[in-house]
Amino acid sequence: MRFSGPGPLGRAACGLAGLGWPPFYGRLPLAAMGKNGYISPCATLYHSNLGLNARIFIGDQALIYEDHGGGRIELGAGVHIHRDCLLQTGRDGRIVIGDETHIQPRCQLSAYVGAIHIGCRVEIAPNCAFYPYNHGLSSDRPLRQQPVQTKGGIVIGDDAWLGVGVIVLDGVTIGAGAVIGAGSVVSRDIPAMAIAVGNPATVVRIRAATP
């Protein structure tokens, strides 16, 4: 694993290192065995401005993609991007993911025009989606020709936890330590340490501090 990395030789080294290891979570220990972490040979990295820090894990069939005009994607130390996730930037969008954040399978982070900024130690369950932009809805042209706009992107605070199938929309800030229930659609800000559920996600209580 000391030869691991995003290039062809580094990917080949990860493939050889993974022989004999179980699939999926079974290969997580490999990320700590080399300074460049573990990038599955089955992952696709198609991005010219990708920042990868120490001990990252990028799983099978993950796709990191740069569309026209896409901005930087930065993955902090110890970030896990599990299988079948999509991270893409286009039209000045960018993605920043803080240290030790874990993104479970089949999540989609699609940053066009606006940014997605996810803090440290955030836990994101499978099938979550993040969209920091909207299409116009005027009646004078077809929907596919509508301009794309943003209200300021998406910010997820440190230590937040998003349940299965959460959708986070443009202009939303989820505060540090907040918990979002499974299947919720977050269309407005959620304060720190709140528990929110539903469509639209509504705060049901605030997490009490540990005595």
The structural domains of the chain, with segments of one domain joined by +, span 67-206
Distances (CA, A) of 61 to 15, 44, 195: 14, 7, 32
Is pLDDT at 137 greater than 90 in this prediction?
Answer: no
Strand partners, 130: 109, 168
- pLDDT, one tens digit per residue, over 57-95 is 999 999 999 999 999 999 999 999 999 999 999 999 999
CATH of domain 67-206: 2.160.10.10
CB of 95 closer than 8 Å to CB of 116:
yes
Q: Under 8 Å CB-to-CB from 127, ≥6 apart: which residues?
A: 105, 106, 107, 164, 165
- Of the listed ranges 1-5, 12-16, 17-21, the one predicted with least confidence: 1-5
Taking the C-alpha atoms of residue 104 and residue 100, their distance in angstroms, rounded to an integer, is: 13
Please check whether residue 86 is in contact with residue 110, taking contact to mean a CB–CB distance below 8 angstroms. Answer: yes
Q: Which residue shows structure tokens 């907040």?
A: 178
CB distance 121 to 100 below 8 Å: yes
Active-site amino acid positions: 135
Question: 137 is written with which tokens?
Answer: 């809805």
AA identity, residue 72: R
Separation between Cα atoms, residue 174 and residue 189, nearest integer Å: 6
**Distance from chain centroid for Cα 25:** 18
pTM above 0.75, yes or no: yes
